[in-house]
């Protein structure tokens, strides 16, 4: 299993071996309640096949029809806007008066994605900068706090994981959490120093370490975009991890276990001299209370809670910024 970005770039490579040209569509700006965030991408083949998404479905269909009927501008890079007025919003199904600005690139080689592919392989974020006036592409190192955006000249698209997820324990639950998180473009580290652990499920895009949990956690950087989940049900392993994680300013720290297990765990952590404030940062039982029982269901509940917390943070940051309206 691979990240959604890796799948898209590999698909682009495969399609360009068959086609002379494909379209790359990227969300550059959104206003109101748009279905997909800035930086969302889709690819379209000349026969109408596509992968990825830039809306809830109606815009994709319109783009494909325009491509198949030759009703797109004869330029290598151009802009399309949707939801500009009420009639447009109703026609394309954008919810709550949402507006969407897209840039379309005509690709005939994967040359402009080589550095993005390397960044994904190395699990390091990178910024692809498309000059929408000239069509030239360049790359810059990426601050993990940086977000995809359009500044009026350059469309900045982040490739690679900006969030780190460290799982304590290589078990069935970790397997599902890691696989689902990989699709969400996390950098994933699985830590388990115990012998006779099955690691056959660990795939490309995941890193496995036999370091002790506290050592692995201490190496996380930046801490504000790092998440630690203690998933072993082994107090020796989980407590060691939590003793380190709760003393750091990590974004999210969670541990598996029932309410009774969590109460006993908090008592142990208090006896190990963690403060009340530090212990209060622990999410336990971890995840949303959705009645989950199986490892796959529990994994969904965990990632749902983390996703909710992440979007709350990202929305708060975005609301502090003044949106730029492009003139391109």
* pLDDT of 324 higher than 80: no
Q: Under a CB-based contact definition with an 8 Å cutoff, are residues 142 and 148 in contact?
A: no
pTM of the predicted model, to two decimals?
Answer: 0.79
Q: DSSP letter at 247? A: T
117 vs 9: CA distance, rounded Å: 7
Buried b (16+ CB within 10 A) or exposed e, 135-154: eebebeebebeeebbbeeeb
Mean pLDDT of the chain: 88
DSSP-derived pairing of the beta strands 22-31 and 41-44: antiparallel
What per-residue confidence (pLDDT) applies to 205?
82
Q: What are phi and psi of 177, to 5 degrees?
A: -60, -45
Question: 206-218: per-residue pLDDT in tens?
Answer: 999 999 999 999 9
| Interval 235-257 mean pLDDT | 96
| Interval 166-192 mean pLDDT | 95
Per-domain boundaries in the chain? 4-123, 164-312
Q: Report the run of H or E that residue 256 belongs to, with start and end.
A: none
Cis peptide preceding 222, ω within 30 of 0: yes
| Interval 232-246 mean pLDDT | 95
Beta bridge partners of 99: 31
What per-residue confidence (pLDDT) applies to 325?
36
250 vs 222: CA distance, rounded Å: 9
| Interval 144-160 mean pLDDT | 90
What per-residue confidence (pLDDT) applies to 296?
96
Residue 129 in tokens: 């900068």
* pLDDT of 112 higher than 50: yes
Reported CATH class of domain 164-312: alpha beta
Look up tokens 């682009």; give the residue.
12
Query: Could you tell me which of 38, 34, 63, 36 has the C-alpha nearest to residue 48?
Result: 63
* pLDDT of 60 higher than 50: yes
């Amino acid at each position: 299993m691979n990240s959604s970005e890796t799948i898209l770039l590999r698909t682009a490579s495969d399609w360009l071996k068959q086609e002379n040209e494909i379209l790359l569509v990227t969300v550059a700006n959104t206003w109101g309640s748009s279905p997909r965030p800035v930086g969302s991408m889709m690819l379209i083949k000349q026969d109408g096949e596509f992968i990825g998404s830039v809306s809830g479905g109606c815009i994709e269909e319109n783009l494909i029809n325009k491509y198949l009927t030759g009703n797109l501008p004869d330029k290598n890079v151009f802009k399309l806007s949707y939801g500009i007025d009420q009639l447009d919003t109703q026609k394309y199904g954008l919810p709550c008066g949402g507006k969407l600005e897209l840039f379309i690139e005509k690709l005939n080689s994967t040359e402009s994605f080589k550095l993005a592919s390397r960044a994904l392989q190395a699990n390091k974020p990178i910024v692809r900068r498309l000059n929408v006036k000239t069509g030239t592409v360049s790359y810059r190192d990426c601050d993990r706090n940086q977000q995809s955006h359009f500044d009026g000249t350059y469309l900045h698209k982040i490739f690679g994981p900006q969030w780190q997820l460290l799982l304590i324990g290589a078990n069935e639950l970790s397997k599902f959490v890691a696989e689902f998180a990989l699709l969400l473009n996390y950098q994933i580290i699985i830590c388990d120093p115990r012998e006779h652990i099955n690691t056959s499920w660990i795939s490309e895009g995941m890193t496995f370490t036999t370091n002790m949990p506290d050592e692995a956690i201490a190496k996380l950087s930046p801490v504000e975009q790092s998440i630690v989940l203690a998933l072993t049900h082994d107090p020796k392993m989980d407590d060691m991890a939590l003793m380190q994680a709760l003393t750091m300013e990590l974004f999210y720290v969670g541990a598996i276990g029932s309410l009774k297990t969590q109460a006993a765990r908090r008592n142990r952590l208090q006896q190990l001299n963690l403060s009340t404030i530090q212990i209060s940062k622990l999410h336990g039982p971890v995840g949303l209370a959705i009645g989950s029982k199986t490892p796959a269901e529990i994994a969904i509940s965990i990632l749902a809670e983390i996703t909710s917390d992440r979007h709350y943070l990202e929305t708060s940051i975005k609301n502090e910024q003044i949106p730029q309206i492009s003139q391109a």
